[in-house]
Amino acid sequence: MFLKAGVGAAVAASVALAIDATFIEPQHPLLKRIDVWLPRLPQELNGFTIAQLSDFHYDRYFSATPIAAAVNIANGLNADLVALTGDYVTVPLLADEHQRSPKAARHAKSCAHLLGGLRARFGSLAVLGNHDEFSDPDEVTGALQYAGIRVLRNQSVLVERGGARLWVAGLNDVMGGGANVGEALRGVPSGDTTVLLCHEPDYADQVAAYAVDLQLSGHSHGGQVRFPGVGALYLPRLGRKYPWGLRRLGQMMLYTNCGIGTIRVPVRWHCPPEVTLLTLRSGTEG
């Protein structure tokens, strides 16, 4: 009897875990508030806020609901700027990185339609991810820009507040081979504060050699499934060294967002979808 009771409890716990990981946790984005101290940030920009969302992997069954919820959360923050760090669509599992899968881009318009509802004082800026690059990057870019979201492809834009300047640069996808930091920073004065959007976080080792103050990335999904004391069961290439959270690399800060959607298996456990509000602080923490 005790054995049967134990087996029954184990089965019930497994079913409850599966329900939570598939239908509950992935559908409810959490808000993370992070203060980022930047010594070169002008005092006039102290308190500047960036709402970051990433890795949407649009699918009407699994990710449309959390994307819409994330947009609502972000809009309630009254952020100065929205930063979107890639992967709006999903390429097939067995797709060859050297051969595009243009059919995967068919969801770009639906994803962009939801993200077009984002509101911020200085608008929304975006970069592409590896899935966007290996589908049809021009179609994904076009869908986002039609929705009012500017896509930075090795480009930078200037944001001014109170007479002070903040540059936001964006890279082409690293895995796609098109990332060029020098080109993205062309025309940016070396003494000005710069935030760089780059889908893959591990590329920060190369970016840190430039006059960049903060890199915002995604790509890793935080692993999607994390076990206490063990961590993520799987992390993608270029998302293994810096898979989540805030860290310092020399003079540069890096933040890796855990993303909104899921890939391959539509589950999350101990790794909920995330909307990040980054508040830029002038000076050194403490």
For residue 191, what are the β-bridge partners? none
What pLDDT is attached to residue 99?
Answer: 64
DSSP state letter for 246: E
pLDDT digit string, tens, across residues 63-109: 999 999 999 999 999 999 999 999 999 998 765 555 678 899 999 99
Residue 16 has pLDDT above 90, yes or no: no
Between CA 51 and CA 56, with CA 54 as vertex, the angle to 5 degrees is 130
Side chain identity at residue 42, one-letter code? P
pLDDT at 27: 77
CB 262 within 8 A of CB 57: yes
- Domain harbouring 111, CATH code: 3.60.21.10
The reported pLDDT for the residue numbered 101 is 87
What pLDDT was estimated at residue 98? 58
Q: Is 161 left (phi over 0), alpha (psi -120 to 50) or beta?
A: beta
* 6-20, 48-62, 103-117: the lowest-pLDDT one: 6-20
Q: What is the pLDDT of residue 113?
A: 98
Quick one: pLDDT at residue 1? 53
Strand positions, DSSP E, 180-251: 193-197, 214-217, 226-227, 231-232, 245-249
Residues in the chain: 286
Residue 239's nearest CA partner among 260, 250, 261, 224 is 224
Concatenated DSSP letters for 238-270? Answer: TSSSS-SEEEEETTEEEEE---SS--SS---BS
Residues 33-51 have a mean pLDDT of: 98
CA atoms within 13 A on the CB side of 63: 27
Average pLDDT over residues 197-221: 98
Name the residue with higher pLDDT: 202 or 10: 202
Q: Which pLDDT tens digit goes with each residue over 247-261?
A: 999 999 999 999 999
> Which band of pLDDT confidence, cut at 50, 70 and 90, is reported for residue 2?
very low
HSE, CB side, 13 Å, CA atoms: give it for residue 129.
30
Lowest mean pLDDT among 8-12, 88-92, 140-144, 235-239: 8-12
Question: With 0-12 CB in 10 A as exposed, 13-18 as middle and 19+ as buried, what is 199?
Answer: buried
Instruction: With a cut of 90, say whether residue 207 has pLDDT above it.
Output: yes
Q: In the beta sheet, which residues pair with residue 217?
A: 256
* Number of domains into which the chain is organized: 1
DSSP label at 108? H
Mean of pLDDT over the chain: 90
Residue 4 pLDDT class (50, 70, 90 cuts): very low
* Separation of alpha carbons 18 and 187, rounded Å: 51
pLDDT of residue 284: 87
Q: Which domain holds residue 220?
A: 2-282
The pLDDT of residue 26 is 61
Q: How far is CA 225 from CA 114, 124, 154, in A?
A: 26, 29, 32
Would you place residue 53 in the very low, low, confident or very high pLDDT band (cuts 50, 70, 90)? very high
Residue 268: pLDDT band with limits 50, 70, 90: very high
Mean of pLDDT values over 15-36:
67
Lowest mean pLDDT among 18-22, 34-38, 123-127, 173-177: 18-22
Single out the residue of 26, 93, 16 nearest to residue 65, CA to CA. Answer: 26
pTM for the model = 0.91
Q: Residue 10's pLDDT is what?
A: 34
pLDDT of residue 93: 73
Tokens representing 274 are 């995330």
